[in-house]
């Protein structure tokens, strides 16, 4: 029997929320450098895990200014975080069970003080 499972595709591990904008269209704005490194795209559904308060919620990505370090929760998601909170951003993909056994996700570990890639 062939079936599909959902597995971790991409993870931005521990970045700092730089802004929370309640009066903006709902989403998360992420620095384009981080998106590229994590193999994420604008419009992709992501799960946000807030280390500080335990919140877990879903939204979608808006591409932020490259090199800005921007991590901004917009719209209703802005009520779930505080500026300065540390979050983990994850996305998942569906794939064949056998393919999933050998799949390697993109996981990045930016500097939490600047949200810049560590080289």
Q: Which of 60, 68, 91, 92 is catalytic?
A: 60
Does residue 68 carry a catalytic annotation?
A: no
Question: For position 2, what pLDDT does the model report?
Answer: 86
Does residue 60 carry a catalytic annotation?
A: yes
- E strand or H helix at 72: strand 71-74
Residues spanned by the domain of 60? 8-94
Per-residue pLDDT, averaged over 25-44, amounts to: 96
**Is residue 2 situated within a structural domain?**
no
The candidate with the shortest Cα–Cα distance to 6, out of 108, 100, 89, 88, is: 100
pTM (2 d.p.): 0.95
Q: What's the alpha-carbon Rg for the chain, to the nearest Å?
A: 14
**Planar angle of CA 39, 51, 91, nearest 5 degrees:** 25
Could you give the CA distance from residue 97 to residue 68 in angstroms, rounded to a whole number? 38
User: pLDDT at residue 89 above 90?
Assistant: yes
Mean pLDDT of all residues belonging to the chain: 96
**Is residue 111 situated within a structural domain?**
no
**Is residue 22 situated within a structural domain?**
yes
**Is residue 105 situated within a structural domain?**
no
How many structural domains compose the chain? 1
Q: Which residues are known binding-site members for substrate?
A: 59, 75-77
Q: Which of 27, 68, 70, 92 is catalytic?
A: 27
CATH of the domain at 80: 2.40.40.20
Handedness of CA 42, 60, 18, 84 (dihedral sign): negative
**Is residue 118 situated within a structural domain?**
no
């Amino acid at each position: 029997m062939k079936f599909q499972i959902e597995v971790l595709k991409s993870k931005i591990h521990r970045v700092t929320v730089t802004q929370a904008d309640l009066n903006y269209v709902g989403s998360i704005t992420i620095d384009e450098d981080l998106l590229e490194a994590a193999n994420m795209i604008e419009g992709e559904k992501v799960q946000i895990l807030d280390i500080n308060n335990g919140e877990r919620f879903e939204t979608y990505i808006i591409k932020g200014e490259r090199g800005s370090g921007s991590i901004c929760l917009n719209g209703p998601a802005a009520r779930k975080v505080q500026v300065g909170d540390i979050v983990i951003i994850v996305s998942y993909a569906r794939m064949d069970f056998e393919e999933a056994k050998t799949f390697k996700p993109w996981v990045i570990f930016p500097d939490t003080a600047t949200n810049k890639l560590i080289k």
